[in-house]
Amino acid sequence: MFELKHGHEVNHGLIEAFEKLGYGIYRLLNDINILVEFDPSYQDDVLNLFACKPDHADLLSKRNLLARNAEIAEVLPDETATGNDWLQKMQSFPYIRKCETDWLANLAEVPENYLKALSAGIQMHDATLPAATRVFLLNKASALIEDMLKQAVGAHYSVWLLKLHLMHIQNQRRGSASLCGQLMEAFANATTPSWPFIPPCEMFFSRTPQNTVGNWLFEILQEFIEYRQSFSSYFNADPLKTLAAIIQNNNHDLAIERRFVLASKRAGKPALPAQGSPLMNPEQSPNSSIWRQILGTVQK
């Protein structure tokens, strides 16, 4: 593994040197954790690349951790025929319990190609499938959504949410953060999408809404931007204001509180109070003892 850039310059020389030594160059797809062949068009979004000799790439491919372009091209469409089984695939997502009735009532107005894209977008997370099949499903969903975005129906909230999810998987960091910000502006009233949808990344699939689905979705979009606007909040000059706002949301993840504590320590400002923070609760935080030490709440 090596960094794509040295400072602000792409490591073209290093990439070429690896290739001359017989290495293939790969990049990682987010969430589904599959290596695919590096395309220079992604150079502004990727932090690290991976160099693999052909024999090692073969081993990774057999373990469903790598998919070459030739392997993806060999996947037959009928091997990934998912139909419109999105509902079955989403039954484990807690938020569906609050949406299913309305979604089914509106189903007649939902384009079939959107449901196919949604099914493919969910199925690509199935780790039991071959890596090439999963990447094929990603490409299939992306093609269907791109076609929909050229039509009037493409303005629907759910279409853009699926587009956002696919951009995140492709590791289009800047583009996904920008699109997420636009969606927050366009849907600032925290509406609940009338069509089936999936959140911007896999970490939100299992999160249970603590209020309305519309508010829950709006809050995780805000959280998603925090994760994707830079490679780390360490590189943000002053992340505290945004982090403090996200912490006020009932739906935020412990990762936000950890970021707030560390950013506060770095800035020399008060961190989270000892009382009431889930970081201190062993039932909520597996490293609660460490965070108590960081926050100076352990008796010495």
Is residue 22 located within the same domain as residue 126? Answer: no
Q: Is residue 45 part of a domain?
A: yes
Is residue 109 located within the same domain as residue 188? Answer: yes
Could you tell me which residue, 68 or 76, shows the higher pLDDT? 68
Instruction: Please tell me the total number of residues recorded for the chain in this structure.
Output: 300
Q: Is residue 275 part of a domain?
A: no
Is residue 49 located within the same domain as residue 81? Answer: no
Give residue 122's Cα distance to chain centre.
12
Is residue 174 located within the same domain as residue 158? Answer: yes
**Given 3-state DSSP classes, what are the helix, strand and coil percentages for the chain, each rounded to the nearest 5?**
55, 10, 40
Is residue 117 located within the same domain as residue 64? Answer: no
Cα separation of 227 and 177, whole Å?
9
- 81 falls in which pLDDT band (50, 70, 90)? low
Q: What predicted TM-score, i.e. pTM, was given to this entire model?
A: 0.90
Q: Is residue 252 part of a domain?
A: no
Burial of 172: CB neighbours in 10 Å, binned 0-12, 13-18, 19+? buried
What range defines the domain where residue 159 resides?
Answer: 77-229
Are 148 and 154 contacting, i.e. CB atoms less than 8 angstroms apart?
A: yes
Domain count, the chain: 2
Note the pLDDT tens digit of each residue in 256-294. 888 888 888 888 887 765 456 788 888 888 888 888 888
Give residue 275's Cα distance to chain centre.
32
Of 213, 229, 245, the residue at which a domain comes to its end is 229
Is residue 88 located within the same domain as residue 225? Answer: yes
Mean pLDDT of all residues belonging to the chain: 88
